[in-house]
Amino acid sequence: MYKVAVIGGGSWGTTLANLIAEEGHEVRLWVREEQVCEEIRTQRINRMFLPGVSLSDRLLPSNDLAEVLDRRDLILMVVPSHVFRDVLERMKGHVSENAIILSATKGIENGTLMLMSDIVADVLHGFPKERFGCLAGPSFAKEVSRHYPTAITVACKDQQKAIRLQEFLYRQYFRIYVSQDVVGVQLAGALKNVIAIAAGACDGLGFGHNARAALITRGLAEITRLGVAMGANPLTFAGLSGMGDLVLTCTGDLSRNRSVGLEIGKGKSIAEITKSMTMVAEGVKTARSAYALGKRYGVDMPITEQVYQILYEGKDPKSAVRDLMTRTLKSELDG
C-alpha cells in the first residue's frame, strides 16, 4: 500500500490519479491551474484536460506542492518534459526519504539531452537509481479513464520494486508488464512522438497507408539504433513501450503529435499549430533533443532529421519526403 502523490493535473496525470483513487486509496494531485484545481475539488471533473469523466472523492487536488508531497512514498511525475526540472527543483526538501519516483513523462530535455531519470539524479543529488521508475506504453488517457482495455510497461532497475508497482497499478482493464530497461523504456516513449509527427505529416499530404506503414517501420529501426547505442535492450523496442506506443501514436486520432503532423502536411506552420493547442505535443521539443542525440552517438536517424528540419529550419514537408525516398539504397538490416 502506497501513499500517493501525483504531480501534474493534465489528462494523463488526472487519469492515473483517478485510477488509483477509484480503488479506495487517497491520492493527492498537484494541479498548476487554480481554476482546474477548484473545479476538481468542487465539481469532481477536469473539463480542461479530461472532460466527461467523473473523478473519485478520494482524489484530493491542491496547488500546494509541499502539501501534496507531505509523507508520500510514491510520487508519480506527470508533467511535460520541458517543465520537469523546474517542478522537481520546487519539490526539493519535500520528497520523503524513502519515496519512489515514478515518471510518466515522455520526453528528453533540450540542451542537456537528459532523460527524466537523469534529471532526477541531477536535481535530487544522491537519489538512488533503484527508487526511480517509469511508465510507458500505448495508452491514451481518454480511453484509460473510461476503463477501455490497456496494457503498458513499468520499468525499474530494482525488479522487486517494479513488481510491487505492477501489482499496485494493475486493474482488470489496465494490465502492467515489468521491465528493468529504464533507459530503453524512456527513450521509446519519447522518440515515438517524433515519428508520429512525421506519420501525421504524411497523412496530411495525402500519401496513404503505404507511406505511413513505411514510416512506422523505419522509425522503429532508427529509434532502436539510438537506444542500443545508449545501452538499452533492443527487445524493449519490440514491446509495448516501443512498437506498441509507436503504432498508437502514429495512427490514433487522439494523438496530439500525429495531429501536429497532420496540420504541417496541410501547410500550416508549427507556430500556428502550437498556438492553438491547449495540451503539449511532446514530439515538437523532443525532435530537437533526438536530432542532437543522433549526432552525439553517430547514429543515422533520417526521419528524425527531416522532422527537425521541418520544425526548426522551415523545410517543406514534400521536400523532406523526397529526400527520404531518394537516399542511398541499402540493406534493410544495415545498422
Active site residues: 192
How far apart, in whole angstroms, are the C-alpha atoms of residue 275 and residue 258? 16
Which segments within 85-183 are labelled E, that is strand? 100-103, 132-136, 150-156, 174-179
In the three-class reduction of DSSP (H, G, I as helix; E, B as strand; rest coil), residue 155 is classed as strand
CA–CA separation, 201 and 318 (whole Å):
9
CA distance 277 to 100: 32
Report the distance separating Cα 331 and Cα 178, nearest Å: 33
Quick check: 290 and 190 in contact, CB under 8 A? Answer: yes
Nearest one of 320, 284, 281, 283 to 302, comparing CA atoms: 320
The C-alpha cell at 253 is 486520432
Rounded distance between C-alpha atoms, residue 154 and residue 160, angstroms:
12
Nearest CA among 196, 159, 153, 155 for reference residue 282 = 196
Residues 36/44, Cβ–Cβ less than 8 Å: no
Q: Tell me how far apart the alpha carbons of residues 215 and 221 are, in angstroms, rounded to a whole number.
A: 10
- Please, which residues bridge with residue 135 across strands? 154
